[in-house]
Amino acid sequence: MRNLLWAIPLFPLIGFLINGLVYLLSHRTKGETHGHGGGYGTDAHTAATAPDTAHDTGHDPGHHEIPFKGLHTVVGVGSVVIACVLAFGAIFDIGLKAFSEGASHSITLWRWIPLAVNQAVGQIPGSAGEWFVDVTLRIDSLSALMLAFVTFVGSLIHLYSVGYMGHEEGFGRFFAYLNLFMFAMLVLVLGGNFLLLFVGWEGVGLCSYLLIGYYYEKNYAADAGKKAFVVNRIGDFGFILGIFGVFGLFGSLDFQKVFAAAAANPAAYTPYMTVICLLLFVGACGKSAQFPLYVWLPDAMAGPTPVSALIHAATMVTAGVYMIARCNVFFRLAPNAMIVVAIVGAFTALFAATIGVAQNDIKKVLAYSTVSQLGYMFLACGVGAFAEGMFHVTTHAFFKACLFLGAGSVIHAMGGEQDIRRMGGLAGKIPRTYRTFLIATLTISGVPFLAAFFSKDAIKAAVFHAEFQAVPWLPKLLYAVALFTAGLTAFYMFRLLTLTFWGHFRGTKEQEHHVHESPATMTIPLIVLAFLSIVSGYVGVPIIEHGDRIGEFLRPIRLPIAGMPERVHHAPLSIELGLMAAAVAVASIGIYLAWSWYSKGEGRTPARLAAEWPGVYRAVAHKYFVDEAYEKVFVRGLALDGGRFLWEVDATVVDLIPNGAAAVTRGASWMAAAFDQYVVDGLVNGVAYALQSLFQLFRRAQTGRVQNYALVMGGGLFCLVAVYLLFR
């Protein structure tokens, strides 16, 4: 079975080809009668029925006969199920025990890029220095873990999509894209070197773009797709620079060779590692939606819900964590980069969780929750707890997929409604969805003995015990942030659950009449995922001897670095239990507040709070104006009047400072006012003026005339050659 590794990505690829071709051919003829030139454009009915609120189930009254629906179903789901069977076959063929002892298996399909470079150039003693890239698929414990849940969750979501997308005209197109995504994701996971990882990385990015823009005839979906694509390019730029750095330094991109070389001879590589790790981390930030590149993920919810579940929650967005765990040798050699990773992770977790509190779109809440949980995973990686991070990746894949699919089931039942203010009381009407959603919500909130309790607890314990030599007080602060975020998570998730399923129905009569339980193809995946959200945590039980199976399973990934002793931490049992108790207490507070405010109080308390602190509420509800800021600075800033942006910041965000200050220090309000008047305004106006002049300069550079650009290119050439001549 292990030698069939190449067949695992092959089947989804075949599925993509068949589905894509059949769809294209079957829609070519239709398109002509329709009057369009191409084959697309027959999904127009979804646009016609779509109200203003984001809505993605195609409930149109006139059911079309979808051509080749059976074929698309069999090929689309079948190919992924076969890949899943092959994947588990390969994993069990090698054996879990063998994996945890460091077994791996690789097949080299062909030599991809042979380079005949001068062997002596850029080569450090101990590096591979082979200067070629092979197409190598490799399975070791880390990729086995990813492979297992990617193919399994992927199969379930494909099955779910059969029901969810059943009425869509673009059924075949959807499955073609989804299969292509599975192919790219499997290449990403199985790739045995950085370049193949990058191929998969770009492939999943492309599919993400295609699927976010699935309802391409609607502007917001097309725009969201473009946004995701552009933001990801920023990250990918950093990533590929990092890959260049690795290739230049080691003369190889093969994971095994590169990491072995770095671990064997750390002194030679350490000086370069901070730069390389930060570049790789920029890539991870883009793909895994970390601050400040997270903005695409909430918008990505414009895609169909199964896509949100599969790509934007369970698999693709965790690729960044996977990559960092894969490169753990590098990161351990670069403690400063680790600190950056930890801080960005913790900040993203907190930041996204606070935004999630004020969202009213069921999918947006889950999206911000995903960003927040990804922040957790990066926090884990940043403190060196790579196995714990991957543990959370795994449990998160199950419960977040379950939440998203549950949300999809709710949206399906509500006929496309996504606003939780117009739901309520659905528990009795769609009981299976409700039960599974409840389980997943309890899991993500950190209720004891469910999956995320163990994985989050492992992360928090690792953060608590972490040691940063440069900033010794940082781990405790990060722990506090993580703990507070856990409380927020419990709060907004129960707010979501309460508003959606409890209380009384707040939608229209028509919607109430329409509500119905989803078909079995949708509920079966929900039940399986809910079950896994309960049990998947037991692979990493702390305290008990040999309880942390997943840590042992992933241990071979963490190569011992020469001259760097592995710190084995055995905290006293009392501290471990204390940390758990704190986590449970915080989660309980969050759940209780959400329940009492939204279930009993019918939202009076939050309304009062929002009225009392309008500035804070506005900032949170508008996601801290980050999108607006990006729009102003990057999208229009260079083309239009960039300087105006800061004047608007002055008018909106900075007003918060006086607002907040006045509330907190009412006694010394005259001081705050004076501060506001002279210091803040003066500062902001000054900076605004400076930036305005700067943006004017940039703006003048954008003449739109190609020849100006060509001249500037000549200048760039001059600089490059001059630098080369000076430093050769």
Partner 1 sequence: MTITINHYLIVSFLLFSIGFLGVLVRRNFLTILMSIELMLNAVNLNLIAFSRRLSDLTGQVFSIFVITIAAGEAAIGLALTISFFRQKKTLDVEEAHTMQG
Partner 2 sequence: MSDGVLLTGGAGVLFAVLAAVALASAIAVVVARSPVHSALFLLLSFVLVAAIFILQQAEFVGAVQMLVYAGGIMVLFLFVVMLVNPGVTRSEKSFQHQWDVAVVLLPIFLLPFLYILGTEKLPDVPVKAEAFRMVGTRVVGNTEAVSWVLFRDYLVPFEVASVFLLVAMIGAVVLGKRSLEKMD
Site residues (CB under 8 A) for partner 1? Answer: 638-640, 699, 701-707, 710-711, 714
Residue 721 binding target from partner 2, partner 1, none, CB below 5 to 8 Å by type? partner 2
Token pair belonging to 618: 């506005």
Alpha-carbon radius of gyration of the chain: 26
From partner 1, partner 2, none, interface partner of 722 (C-beta below 5 to 8 A by class)? partner 2
Residue 725's binding partner out of partner 1, partner 2, none, with CB under 5 to 8 Å set by partner kind: partner 2
Question: Of these, 543, 573, 694, 711, which contacts partner 2 (CB under 8 A)?
Answer: 711
Question: 706 contacts which partner out of partner 2, partner 1, none, CB within 5 to 8 A by kind?
Answer: partner 1
Strand runs labelled E in 60-201: 105-114, 132-139
Q: Give 56's contacts (C-beta < 8 A, 6+ positions apart).
A: 215, 302, 303, 304, 305, 411, 416
Q: How far is the CB of 707 from partner 2 (least distance, A)?
A: 6
Beta carbon of residue 227, minimum distance to partner 1 (angstroms, whole number)? 20
Cα separation, 591 vs 493, in Å, equals 8
User: Looking at beta carbons only, is 95 or 714 nearer to partner 2?
Assistant: 714
Q: What is the DSSP letter of 361?
A: B
Torsion sign across C-alpha atoms 397, 220, 291, 622:
negative
Q: Pick the closer one to partner 2 by CB: 117 or 713.
A: 713
Among the listed residues 472, 667, 725, 727, the single contact to partner 2 using CB under 8 A: 725
Among positions 38, 431, 578, 714, the unique one binding partner 2 when judged by CB under 8 A: 714
Q: If you write DSSP's letter for every residue of 296-323 in order, what string do you get?
A: HHHHGGGS-HHHHHIIIIISGGGHHHHH
Rounded to the nearest whole angstrom, what is the least distance from the CB of residue 714 to partner 2 in the complex? 4
Within 679-708, the residues that bind partner 2 by CB under 8 A are 705, 707-708
| Contact present, 698 and 638 (Cβ < 8 Å) | yes
* Cβ distance to partner 1 smaller for residue 428 or 714: 714
* Minimal distance, residue 297 CB to partner 2, in Å: 35
Cβ distance 532 to 439 under 8 Å? no
* Among partner 1, partner 2, none, partner that 639 touches (CB below 5 to 8 angstroms by kind): partner 1
Q: Does 62 bind partner 2 (CB under 8 A)?
A: no
In the complex with partner 2, which residue's Cβ is closer, 477 or 719?
Answer: 719
Q: What is the DSSP string of 698-711?
A: HHHH----HHHHHH
Residue 48 interacting with partner 2 (CB under 8 A):
no
- CB contact at 8 A, 178 and 307: yes
CA distances from 497 to 176, 415, 509 (A): 33, 19, 21
Whole-number Cα distances in Å, 312 to 303, 363, 426, 509, 518: 10, 11, 26, 33, 22
Q: Provide, rounded to whole angstroms, the least separation between the CB of residue 721 and partner 2.
A: 4
- CB 397, min distance to partner 1, A: 43
**Residue with structure tokens 């730069």?**
275
Q: Cα separation of 80 and 175, whole Å?
A: 11
User: Does residue number 721 form part of the binding site for partner 2 (CB under 8 A)?
Assistant: yes
Residue 431: which of partner 1, partner 2, none does it interact with, CB under 5 to 8 A by kind? none
Q: In the complex, what is the shortest distance from the CB of residue 724 to partner 2, in angstroms, rounded to a whole number?
A: 8
**Nearest-CA neighbor of 495 among 431, 428, 444, 454?**
444
The smaller minimum CB distance to partner 2, of residues 244 and 718, is found at 718
- Can you give the binding site for partner 2, defined by CB under 8 A? 705, 707-708, 711, 714-715, 717-718, 721-722, 725
